[in-house]
Each structure stands twice: as structure tokens, then as C-alpha cells.
Amino acid sequence: MPICGVASGLDVEFDNTTSGVVEGEYFFTPQIGMKLRYVKESFKAARVRGDIKADHVGISANYYF
């Protein structure tokens, strides 16, 4: 299947980087929790000027058994 989209013609390799993660969880009951997660992330590419930022936030619901 061909790759489609705005960046379909790009062939970019990224260097390894270290990122920071902050995560917290609130338990409604001993089995049910909700997590909030923030990731501060950036990538370096050889043919691109500057860093490419990829910061993101996530929310998840968890059931523990």
C-alpha cells in the first residue's frame, strides 16, 4: 500500500534523544483509576534545522483485577 499524505515524500532519520515523562494516577476505587500523562519530547534530524517538538498529553482509564 503506498504512503499517502502531506509528508509522504519525506525520508528522514531521527537521532536518539532522551525525553521527560510526568504521570499521575487517581484511584476512584482500588480497581478503577484514571491517569494523566505529559511527555516533553523533541527529535533531531540531520537534514532539518532545529529540533522537532513532539510534546503531548494523554489521559487513560484503568481497571485493575
Say if 58 falls within a structural domain. Answer: yes
Number of domains comprising the chain: 1
Say if 48 falls within a structural domain. Answer: yes
- Enumerate long-range contacts of 12-20, CB under 8 Å, 24 or more apart: 12/45, 12/46, 12/47, 12/48, 13/45, 13/46, 14/43, 14/44, 14/45, 14/52, 15/43, 15/44, 15/45, 15/46, 17/41, 17/42, 17/43, 17/44
Say if 57 falls within a structural domain. Answer: yes
Q: What is the pTM of this model?
A: 0.68
Say if 2 falls within a structural domain. Answer: no
Residue 37: domain span: 23-63
Sequential pLDDT tens for the chain (65 residues): 556 677 777 777 778 888 999 999 999 999 999 999 999 998 887 777 778 888 999 999 999 99
Q: What local confidence, expressed as pLDDT, does residue 59 receive? A: 98
